[in-house]
Chain A
């Protein structure tokens, strides 16, 4: 057991560059497999969490854009959603990477809240930014479709009630339309979150290169399958990790779901999110 503690110290944070520099090459133990794949999972969680967090806001904007009466809002929103929903993520990653490496390599400085940030276009070719950007656009497009569908299925009675209360514009949106839209779209959105998390496994597998052998869970799983010549151990470990995180996502989204539906009488609450997927 003590040796496994050492392994955790050596490789627990290997995916983000902390710990032993060289990956194990031969006589790979089960513990090393668990630890390395687990450390790669940090990347999957990073990609999934940030993309979802930022994508949510763009998705709301896009859903409203799709629903807008103004053609210059509706068309770009429709096109954006179509582009990212209509093509495989695998190909999006590849094209994004190829396009990003063509950008001139310059540094950009910009100011947010008085702090000056220096950014480089070169960062876009790195997975942490480039792949994140693709995942962000991707989840925004899918979520927008879900939210748009939810927007369309808001019971007219609720809108009429809001009108008769004299609500208008922003107030009607923030108090009635938006919460109802989220409530109706939430089961599907839960699944979008799960799918997005699964999609993060593609990042290092399609085109974004791994730097200093820092990769995600699948990167390490395939590394170990290659070194041990046995796919029957690393991939099930990977699957186990993913199931764990998926359960966690379902739990967190379930909590939010309960909050969104708290005003409904017990009998009307959805028992549990159904597996409706829009992808």
Chain B
């Protein structure tokens, strides 16, 4: 799946210069505030800032590649980029296919969001989720009716226009949307813990790169940089390390 996105990029040159190893980071670019395309047409978001910081600390020269969510793992495996940094939860199923770094965002419970006035019962009704996410898998086995959309954006639209009763997604993604909906959208039901924390996905054969990035993640964790970034992008009440 050669899905290199054209004009996708934000090349990051670190101070280490020409000798730095080039690492290509794959992201989706459509999951605010994790990763998205800003008004200038450049990649932006929590993971972009974090990724650049990690590369700096690991003395790597990093390049960003945008890739559709549904083919993001196959394209990692076929070598289009070297790491996935796209809000991907660490799950057992995925671990069979790829390796993960240490988590850089704590296990974040997923939430249901419905229209204002919807009761908790909607979580058993028609629930929208993005294709090939842990959320889609959860809804399919929860007994609710799953409606799948290719992007997270469309799942929200489906709830707004009444196509679906509720949407299941990461709380961090849903929070700003609910807050800015002027009361049209509300959290419903209980939060649920589906996946583990969020980590970077790597090919199983790339142990050396994984070790480097793990060290960098440990370093941003220990000096508090990571917590600052989380607070900046997800608000003060977001889970911290």
Q: A and B touching (C-beta < 8 Å)? A: yes
Chain A residues with CB under 8 Å of chain B are 21-23, 25-26, 101-102, 105, 122, 125, 209-213, 222-223, 225-226, 229-231
Binding site for A on B (CB under 8 A): 1, 70-71, 73-74, 77, 93, 96-97, 126, 128, 132, 137, 140-141, 145-149, 154, 157-158, 161-163
Assuming A25-B137, A226-B70, A226-B71, is B77 touching A211 (CB within 8 A)? no
- Contact call A213/B70, Cβ cutoff below 8 A: no
Partner of A209, one of B96, B132, B140, B149: B149
Q: Which residue of B lies closest to A226 (CB)?
A: B132
CA distance A226 to B97 in the complex (A): 11
Give the residue of B71, B77, B93, B149 whose beta carbon is less than 8 angstroms from that of A25.
B93
By beta carbon, the residue of chain B nearest A222 is B70
A213 lies within 8 A of B71 (CB): no
Besides A222-B70, A229-B97, 6 more A-B contacts (Cβ < 8 Å) are A22-B140, A25-B137, A211-B145, A213-B146, A226-B70, A226-B132
Q: Could you tell me the distance between the alpha carbons of A21 and B144 in the complex, rounded to whole angstroms? A: 11
Residues on B with C-beta less than 8 A from A25 are: 93, 137
Which chain A residues lie closer than 8 Å to B149 at the CB level? 209
Given the complex, which residues of B lie within 8 Å of A225, measured CB to CB? 74
Determine the chain B residues whose CB is within 8 A of the CB of A23 once the complex forms.
Answer: 140
Would B148 and A213 count as touching, CB distance under 8 A? yes
Which one, A21, A26, A209, A231, contacts B158 given CB within 8 A? A209
**Distance of A231 Cα from B148 Cα, bound (Å):** 21
With a cutoff of 8 Å between Cβ atoms, the chain B residues found around residue A102 in the complex are 161
* Most B Cβ at <10 Å: residue of A101, A125, A223, A226: A226
Q: Which of B73, B74, B96, B126 has the most CB of A within 10 A?
A: B74
Query: Is the contact region of chain A dominated by helix, strand, or loop, or is it mixed?
Result: loop
Measured CB to CB, the closest approach of chain B to A205, in angstroms, equals 8
Distance of A125 Cα from B161 Cα, bound (Å)? 11
Q: Which chain A residues lie closer than 8 Å to B96 at the CB level? A: 26
In the complex, chain A residues whose CB is within 8 Å of the CB of B141: 22
Residues of chain B within 8 A (CB-CB) of A229 are 73-74, 77, 97
**Whole-angstrom distance between the alpha carbons of A258 and B158 in the complex?**
49
Question: What number of A-B contacts does a CB cutoff of 8 Å give?
Answer: 51
Contacting residues, chain B, for A26 (C-beta < 8 A): 93, 96
Q: Which of B1, B93, B140, B154 contacts A213 (CB 8 A)?
A: B140
- Separation of A22 and B141 alpha carbons in the complex (Å): 7
With contacts A101-B163, A226-B132 taken as known, whether A231 is within 8 angstroms of B146 at the C-beta atoms is no
**Measured CA separation A105–B161 after assembly (Å):** 10
Known: A102-B161, A125-B163, A231-B1. A211 touches B74 (CB 8 A): no
A212 and B146 in contact, given A22-B141, A125-B163, A226-B70 (Cβ under 8 angstroms): yes
Nearest-neighbour CB distance to chain B for A65, whole angstroms, equals: 35
- In the bound assembly, the distance between CA atoms of A110 and B81 in angstroms comes to 56
| Docked-complex contact B140 and A210, CB < 8 angstroms | no
Could you tell me the distance between the alpha carbons of A101 and B70 in the complex, rounded to whole angstroms? Answer: 24
- Chain B residues within 8 Å of A125, by CB: 163
Q: Which residues of A contact B71 (CB under 8 A)?
A: 226
Q: Which residue of A lies closest to B155 (CB)?
A: A209
Show 10 residue pairs from A and B whose CB-CB distance is below 8 angstroms, ordered by the A residue. Answer: A23-B140, A209-B128, A210-B148, A211-B126, A211-B145, A213-B146, A222-B70, A225-B74, A226-B132, A229-B74
Are A210 and B74 in contact, with the CB atoms below 8 A? no
| Chain A residues whose C-beta falls within 8 Å of the C-beta of B97 in the assembled complex | 229
In the complex the two chains form, is B74's CB within 8 Å of A226's CB?
A: yes
Chain B residue with minimal CB distance to A103?
B161
Contact A212 B158 (CB under 8 A): no
Q: Which of chain B's residues have a CB closer than 8 A to the CB of A212?
A: 140, 145-146
**B147 in contact with A210 (CB, 8 Å):** yes
| List of A residues within 8 angstroms of B154 by Cβ | 209
CA of A212 to CA of B147 in the docked complex: distance in angstroms? 6
- Identify the closest chain B residue to A125 (Cβ): B163
Cβ-neighbour of B147 out of A22, A209, A222, A223 (below 8 A): A209
Q: Which chain B residues border A209 with CB–CB below 8 Å?
A: 128, 147-149, 154, 158, 163
Report how far A111 CA is from B141 CA in the complex, Å.
Answer: 40
User: Please, how many angstroms separate the alpha-carbon atoms of A213 and B157 in the complex?
Assistant: 19
B227 to chain A, nearest CB (A): 34
**Closest-CB distance, A236 to chain B (whole angstroms):** 15
User: Once bound together, how far apart are the Cα atoms of A229 and B145, in whole Å?
Assistant: 26
- B168 CB to nearest chain A CB (Å): 14
CA distance A225 to B131 in the complex (A): 13
CA distance A190 to B189 in the complex (A): 53
- What's the nearest-Cβ distance from chain B to residue A174, in Å? 45
Residues of B within 8 A of A122 (CB): 162
